[in-house]
Amino acid sequence: MQGTLDLLILRTVSLEPQHGWAIAKRIQQVSREVLQVQQGSLYPALHRLEQKRWIKAKWAETDTGREAKFYELTGAGREQLEKETANWSRLSAAINLVLKTE
Amino acid sequence: MSWAEKLWLRLRPLLRREQAARELDKEVQFHLEQQIAENIAAGMSPSEARYTALRIFGNTSSVKEQTKETWGWIRVEQIFQDLRYALRQLRKTPGFSATALLTLALGIGANAAIFTLVDALMMRHLPVTDPKTLIRIGDTNDCCVNGGVPDNADFSLFSTEVYERLKKSAPEFEQLAAMQAGFAYRPVVARREGTAETARSMMGEFVSGNYFDTFGLRPAAGRLFLESDDAEGAPMVAVLSYDAWRSTYAGDPTVVGSTFWINTKPVTIAGIAPEGFFGDRLSTSPPAFYFPLMTHEAISNVPYVHNNNIGWIYIIGRVKPGTPILPLQDKLSALIRGWAKETKMFDNNTDKSLPEKTHVVLTAGGGGIQDLRDQYESNLRLLMGASGLVLLIACANIANLLLVRGMRRKMEMSVRTALGAAKARIVRQLLTESVLLAGLGGLAGLLVAYLGAQMLLKLAFAGAKTIPVNALPSFAVLGFAFALSLLTGILFGVAPAWIASQANPAEALRSGSRGATSGASLLQRGLVVLQAALSLVLLVGAGLFAQSLMRLQGTDLKLDSKNRYIAHINPQGAGYSTTQVEALYRLIEQRFHQVSGVKNVGISIYTPMEDNNWGNSVQVQGQVFTGKSASVVKANAEYFGSVGTHVVTGRGIGVQDVFTAPAVAVVNQTFVKTFFPNGENPIGRRFGGPGPKSPGDFEIVGVVEDTVYTTVRWKDHSMYFLPITQHAPSDDSPIEKDPSMYAGALVLQTEAPINNIEALTRKTLAEINSNLAVVKFQTFDQQIADRFHDDKMIAQLTALFGGLALLLAAIGLYGVTAYTVARRTSEIGIRMALGARRAGVIGMVMRGAMSQTVIGLAIGIPAALLCVRFVRSQLYEIQGVNVAVMTVAILSLMLASLLAGMIPARSAASTEPAQTLRAE
């Protein structure tokens, strides 16, 4: 689900600028390994979001002194994140409701 | 974000693509290294850590490719990349590329060449203002000066009075112009006053005063016609065509306002028609002069301008915008019906439904009078059909070549798929290649089209002074060729692309080159079979047209053309009145007999095998009128001898048959069969036109053989011959107005060929009268050959297309057989290692190749038999395919197949078993 991956990426980079591998690790950890995406599929999504100007990237040094490409949320990205989050909450609430009335 | 920023964002990756790609590599590399480091930290061995990192990442090149696709402008860039790659592929396989390009160039070129002609002859408008609003009253080429009811009572040829009446009573037309129908048959003699130039025979067309206005034309110099020029008694003026002004009078500006002697009458040149205007129809002899309708009688001494029974003009008009055409057509038809009744046109006719059937058809007039189109339409259709079949064969060839290539590259595609290339990308890549190939083929095809169209025009208008059509392909032709090549490319690029994309990489890689040993696919074989069948159809067609031409040319024309020369002359144009011509003809006979070597001097209104015919209704005295008619030639005493027509019984025309002598006639054998069917002796009997008195006009004094006039196709052609200066006794119209007194041709029979006979003829005529210009000079043989010209052209072109088809089919068969052999090299190697002999191997390959040809024949033979019906009307005395034509066609195809199969078969037989097995 492309939209879901986009939402997760936006949420992950909203806390602080992160590089690709860290984003992948974070999504896996936070989702308690439930979301089994191939790590590679992250990159087309990252570049697409960058094209949409929802995130921006810059090269910077990591803690260990290596050069890596860090992604951070833009203003437009923050708006998009809020919109998507609200959508998602509404949708999951609706699904929950349907499931509970069983 | 401003639009500039947006653009920059889109452009940046394109401009900095290399750098962006490097950054992406670095980014992915960093990711993998982080993962490997983590894996090692978790206790894996370095190699295990690396493997696991790659596994959970996924296919790296695929990821990179997908990522790059999110960058802007990627599509455009990929197209360039595909094109570069496709060009490299074409260069890498020159044999394939050359064959494919040649095939495409020939297929597309042949079609575009034919289409150039179709476009020029059938689709183009006259170079006039707003041609789309022009409407012609009439839809046939009924020509040139006729009375009576035309076929189906469908009128296209009108009298002067009908034109005047239509003009007055049809206000739906903004303008309504009239033009002479048969100007090409009635050239004028022109000489500019005050110059030393000799009189020339030139084309002149009589047109209404509003002719140029109707077409919305402006003069290149001087003025065009006014309505007042086209009035009885107005000063005689003419408009000169731009081409004639440039070529004959060197663009001399003083021509405007100067006097020309036209048929010895003084005419002032009012102005020059605009550049590019060639008249109201495409013609090999466009008018040099335009004259007002009302001057026709004075200039050409014709009796019909004020005769309401005789039609001689065509009408084109411009309707007011928004005029509904059908009601207008009904209204005009009613008008014509009224006129036909007034002139008692139906009185002598037995068909009582004629008055009701009388009508006119309104047609688009933007193309002018389309007689050239009607003349060539059936031929062009035929050629379009033939070239279409050639294109089909060419397409089959291209498809086959691309298929073969697609198979060969299955391996390459598998590798690329395995390495992560998207299937869509591979399909696009292959499509790019075939479209590029088709595009290049289309370009080469345009060159072939241009040269081909030039050749076609030279063939079609051989010997014509003016070729009315340009060989340069128009935009329509360019578009046609381009669309055609694109279609071919896409259509036949899709199949191999699809096959390649279906390849299961693992399977293909596993099986390697040993792959399927089945050789060519069913599709490929099917295409070869199709080619064989189509080329057989074309070969049979070519054979039939060749045979038709042979029959036509082999016809006994019942004449003798050896050492005969024909000079067409125009005594009326030289200023002679009908009462003066008898003396003129005696003088011509006398003067030409003084030229050494001249045996017979024939004088007649027209000659055998020329594009001319005068016909009349005939009633024999003592019989009822049956509606039959016969052609008439008026001639002098030496005429029969000069053309080689033998007298069968009685006598020919004699020197004694002068104007004052009793009127006599000589008839041909068909005339006797038609009008005296019970074997009565025709000698001494009388006939003439239908009516109470006229059947007694001419006494038959002799019967001659059926010499062929007009065309070989005219069977059972009744003819009669009259002394040239005699006049029907019952005809009380003044002899001064009898145009049949004027000779049109001079036939010279000589003892031996005379080299300078043309110059001698011109000189002798000019000595008699400097205005006796030669209209046309040819040997009798040339004149006859001209009448076979169109049939010869069709025979040549169908033979050309047949040959082309055969060549392409042979290339196709060769391609598939060679491919099969290449695929089966190892199998053949094993066979030979196991003891198969060379002859056996050759036999095996040839059997495969020939079986396709034989199936092609099995389809092609009935198809050819079926197709004959479409061309039967264009063949002469050929009802169906005969054994000889079919045999030759089959043998040609078999021979071509044998040659095409033999080359790969021999290479298969020279397979070195040890070598091929080692190569595995």
Q: Are B744 and B568 in contact (CB under 8 A)?
A: yes
Q: In what order do the strands lie in the sheet with A67-73?
A: A18-19, A67-73, A55-61
Q: Which amino acid is residue B891, in one-letter code?
A: L
* B57:A66 CB<8 A: no
pLDDT at B644: 95
The reply to whether A33 touches chain B by the CB within 8 Å rule is no
Query: How many Cβ atoms from other residues are within 10 Å of residue B562's Cβ?
Result: 13
Give the pLDDT mean for B107-115. 86
CB proximity list for B310: less than 8 A, separation 6 or greater = B145, B146, B147, B159, B304
State the nearest Cα–Cα gap between A66 and chain B, in angstroms: 9
Interface of B with A in 449-478 (CB under 8 A): none
* A69:B27 CB<8 A: yes
Does the pLDDT of residue B582 top 70, yes or no?
Answer: yes
B234 secondary structure, DSSP code: P
pLDDT at B510: 62
CB proximity list for A44: less than 8 A, separation 6 or greater = B63, B66, B67, B69, B70
* A67:B59 CB<8 A: no
Residue B516 pLDDT grade (very low, low, confident, very high; cuts 50, 70, 90)? very low
| Per-residue pLDDT tens over the stretch A39-66 | 888 898 898 888 888 899 888 888 888 8
B158 secondary structure, DSSP code: B
Q: Which helix (H) or strand (E) holds B566?
A: strand B564-569
ipTM attached to this prediction: 0.90
d(CA B665, CA B684): 10
Q: Please tell me which of the candidates B9, B27, B72 has its beta carbon nearest to residue A20.
A: B27
pLDDT at A2: 59
Q: Are B54 and B36 in contact (CB under 8 A)?
A: no
> DSSP secondary structure string, B80-99?
HHHHHHHHHHHHH-HHHHHH
| Per-residue pLDDT tens over the stretch B12-47 | 555 667 778 888 899 999 999 988 998 899 899 999
Q: Please tell me which of the candidates B23, B30, B70 has its beta carbon nearest to residue A51.
A: B70
Chain B hits for A51, CB-CB cut-off 8 Å, are 9, 70-72
Q: Are B815 and B527 in contact (CB under 8 A)?
A: no
Chain A hits for B63, CB-CB cut-off 8 Å, are 40-41, 43-44
Interface of A with B in 42-71 (CB under 8 A): 43-44, 46-48, 51, 53, 59, 66-69
Phi, psi of B221 (to 5 degrees): -160, 155
| Per-residue pLDDT tens over the stretch B801-827 | 999 999 988 988 888 888 788 778 778
pLDDT at B267: 96
> DSSP secondary structure string, B665-700?
EEEEHHHHHHH-TT----TT-EEESSSSSGGGSEEE
* B31:A39 CB<8 A: yes
| Per-residue pLDDT tens over the stretch B535-564 | 999 999 999 999 999 999 999 999 999 999
CA dist B626 to B4, B87, B350, B620, Å? 90, 75, 9, 10
State the nearest Cα–Cα gap between A69 and chain B, in angstroms: 7
Strand partners, B405: none
Q: Please tell me which of the candidates B23, B30, B60 has its beta carbon nearest to residue A21.
A: B30
| Per-residue pLDDT tens over the stretch B146-200 | 887 888 889 999 999 999 999 998 899 999 999 999 998 889 999 998 887 888 9
State the nearest Cα–Cα gap between A59 and chain B, in angstroms: 10
pLDDT at B246: 93
The reply to whether B52 touches chain A by the CB within 8 Å rule is no
Phi, psi of B408 (to 5 degrees): -60, -30
State the nearest Cα–Cα gap between B506 and chain A, in angstroms: 22
| Interior/surface letters B269-290, b for 16+ CB within 10 angstroms, e for the rest | bbbbbbeebbbbbbbebbbbbb
Q: Are B143 and B157 in contact (CB under 8 A)?
A: yes
> Of B30-44, B52-66, B72-86, B255-269, which one has max mean pLDDT?
B255-269
Query: How many Cβ atoms from other residues are within 10 Å of residue B555's Cβ?
Result: 14
Does the pLDDT of residue B77 top 80, yes or no?
Answer: no
pLDDT at B108: 84
Q: Which helix (H) or strand (E) holds B137?
A: strand B134-137
- Of all residues in chain A, the one with the smallest CA distance to B9 is A51
* A43:B27 CB<8 A: yes
Chain centroid to Cα B222, Å, comes to 37
Give the pLDDT mean for B261-285. 92
The reply to whether B498 touches chain A by the CB within 8 Å rule is no
Q: How many contacts does A have with B, using Cβ atoms within 8 A? A: 61
On average, the pLDDT of chain B sits at 87
Q: Please tell me which of the candidates A38, A59, A66 has its beta carbon nearest to residue B58.
A: A38
* B56:A53 CB<8 A: no
* A51:B72 CB<8 A: yes
pLDDT at B506: 66
Percent of chain B whose pLDDT exceeds 90: 45
Phi, psi of B684 (to 5 degrees): 90, -15
pTM of the model: 0.74
Chain B hits for A20, CB-CB cut-off 8 Å, are 27, 30-31
Q: Please tell me which of the candidates A24, A39, A47 has its beta carbon nearest to residue B70.
A: A47
Does the pLDDT of residue B142 top 60, yes or no?
Answer: yes
Q: Are B224 and B209 in contact (CB under 8 A)?
A: no
Chain A hits for B31, CB-CB cut-off 8 Å, are 19-21, 24, 39
Q: Are B317 and B135 in contact (CB under 8 A)?
A: yes
d(CA B437, CA B402): 10
Does the pLDDT of residue B513 top 50, yes or no?
Answer: no
Q: Please tell me which of the candidates B30, B57, B72 has its beta carbon nearest to residue A38.
A: B57
State the nearest Cα–Cα gap between B54 and chain A, in angstroms: 9
Strand partners, A71: A18, A57
Give the pLDDT mean for B641-660. 95
Using DSSP's 3-state secondary structure scheme, residue B777 falls into strand
Q: Which residue has the higher pLDDT, B917 or B832?
A: B832
In the numeric block, which tokens belong to residue B377? 């339409």
Give the pLDDT mean for B457-478. 74
The reply to whether B29 touches chain A by the CB within 8 Å rule is no
Strand partners, B290: B205, B239
- Of all residues in chain B, the one with the smallest CA distance to A46 is B67
Chain A hits for B27, CB-CB cut-off 8 Å, are 20, 43, 68-69
CA angle B324, B327, B330 (to 5 degrees): 145
Task: Suggest the residue from B25, B70, B73, B74 to mutate for an interface test with chain A (most A CBs closer than 10 A).
Answer: B70
The reply to whether B58 touches chain A by the CB within 8 Å rule is yes
Specify the range with the lowest mean pLDDT, choosing from B330-344, B347-361, B560-574.
B347-361
